[in-house]
Amino acid sequence: MRRVELDTIKQLLEGVDLLPAIEQGYRDYSNGLCNIPPVGELLMESGEVHIKYGCVQGDSTYLIKIASSFPGNANLDLPAGNGMMLVFSQDTGALECMLLDQGYLTDRRTAVAGAVAAKYLGPEQVQRIGIVGTGVQARMQLLELKDVIQCTEVMVWGRNPDRAQQFCQEMQAKGYHISAAADINEIPATCNLIVTTTTATEPLLSADMIRPGTHISAIGSDTPHKQELDSQILARADRVVADSIEQCLLRGEIFKALENGSIQQDALIEMGQIISGDAAARTGEDQITIFDSTGVAVQDIRIAALVLSRL
């Protein structure tokens, strides 16, 4: 049984294009090749723990992932996220590898999902990228976009102005022209590709803010109680795309919009269908597109397989 620590995992993935692996995972899922049970979830006052697990037909292994998020850790100078991935043999059930990634692989595969969404749903000409949130995922989302979006103009909004300024300094050092919004309204007013990365439980963006031609990747809302987008944004959208329709019936922006009657299930598309060419992506520059990323275990399966292939 192999035990792989975080530093080794980062070295193995350095300079590796993760996008094809995540695309393949979405295709596998939408083509019915995955056995993905419902998410295990432990919600507490101070944080939350998700257990995601499953396998893909034809693979030699199956995976169980434990990932946690404790937002208050920022005040303790500790990472908000943690976790590990356990890889087992499909033939014997034997534990083959422990990936002690401390949540890094979850963060990376989630950020790559945003890049996949931008590739297929983003406007042809991105005027400015808008980032809502200032945490680890906000940083990773922006950095993963660089390979699919040729735009370095960025605006960020966060509840804490000091953290927003720190975000700007860090991203400026990586070649972005970035400013902090004093009001969240500035994001949809000036950005036509928006990524939301917060743990909000009340909508941050409303339908009247969103201009035609805007794409939004909604990343933060991955439980039944979280919500970053007003449901009328989804009602206005020309494309509402789920990572997993089955999962989005129970959590995320789509869950909220279905619950209050803003959209109907038959309007939903899965990302894997778009990647496979079975459903249309963006077909016009005036369309509003939404990607609801709740995080599917097949993303974990595919990124873990990539790590193992490079050991």
Both 130 and 268 in one domain: the answer is yes
Average pLDDT over residues 84-105: 98
The domain that contains 30 carries what CATH number?
Answer: 3.30.1780.10
Both 202 and 120 in one domain: the answer is yes
Q: Please report the pLDDT score of residue 172 as a whole number.
A: 97
State pTM to two decimals: 0.95
How far apart CA 107 and CA 235 sit, in angstroms, is 29
Q: What is the pLDDT of residues 235-259, one digit of tens each?
A: 999 999 999 999 999 999 999 999 9
CA 182, 175, 138, 284 torsion-angle sign: positive
Computed over every residue of the chain, the mean pLDDT equals: 97
How far apart CA 76 and CA 92 sit, in angstroms, is 42
Neighbours of 2 (CB within 10 A): 11
Q: Please report the pLDDT score of residue 258 as a whole number.
A: 98
- Number of domain units in the chain: 2
Closest CA to 194 of 295, 184, 299, 202: 184
The domain that contains 166 carries what CATH number?
Answer: 3.40.50.720
Both 286 and 142 in one domain: the answer is yes
Q: Please report the pLDDT score of residue 229 as a whole number.
A: 98
How far apart CA 217 and CA 108 sit, in angstroms, is 15
Domain coverage including residue 83: 2-105+298-310
Q: Exposure string (b/e) for 137-166, b if CB count within 10 Å is 16 or more?
A: bbbbbbebbeebbebbebbbbbeeeebbee
Expressed in percent and rounded to 5, the helix, strand and coil fractions of the chain are 35, 25, 40
Provide the percentage of residues in the chain whose pLDDT is more than 70: 100
| φ, ψ for residue 266, nearest 5 deg | -70, -5
Q: Please report the pLDDT score of residue 77 as a whole number.
A: 87
Q: Exposure string (b/e) for 237-269, b if CB count within 10 Å is 16 or more?
A: bbbbbbbbbebbebbbbbbbbbeeebbeeeebb
Both 18 and 74 in one domain: the answer is yes
Both 258 and 286 in one domain: the answer is yes
- The answer for residues whose C-beta is within 8 angstroms of residue 19's C-beta and 6 or more apart is 112, 115, 116, 119, 147, 148
Both 237 and 305 in one domain: the answer is no
Q: What is the pLDDT confidence band of residue 71, given thresholds at 50, 70 and 90?
A: confident
Both 184 and 90 in one domain: the answer is no
The dihedral formed by the CA atoms of 10, 171, 20 and 254, expressed in degrees to the nearest 10: 110
Both 279 and 225 in one domain: the answer is yes
Both 134 and 201 in one domain: the answer is yes
Residue 196 has pLDDT above 90, yes or no: yes
Q: Which amino acid is at 41?
A: E
Q: Please report the pLDDT score of residue 6 as a whole number.
A: 98
Both 277 and 302 in one domain: the answer is no
- The answer for residues whose C-beta is within 8 angstroms of residue 270's C-beta and 6 or more apart is 26, 29, 30, 241, 242, 243, 244, 245, 279
Closest CA to 74 of 163, 143, 182, 202: 163
Both 93 and 129 in one domain: the answer is no
Q: How far apart are the first and last CA of the chain?
A: 13
How far apart CA 64 and CA 88 sit, in angstroms, is 8
Residue 201 has pLDDT above 90, yes or no: yes
Take residue 126 and report the two structure tokens written for it: 């991105």
Q: Exposure string (b/e) for 16-47, b if CB count within 10 Å is 16 or more?
A: eebbebbbbbbbbbbeebbebeebeeeeeeeb
Both 302 and 285 in one domain: the answer is no
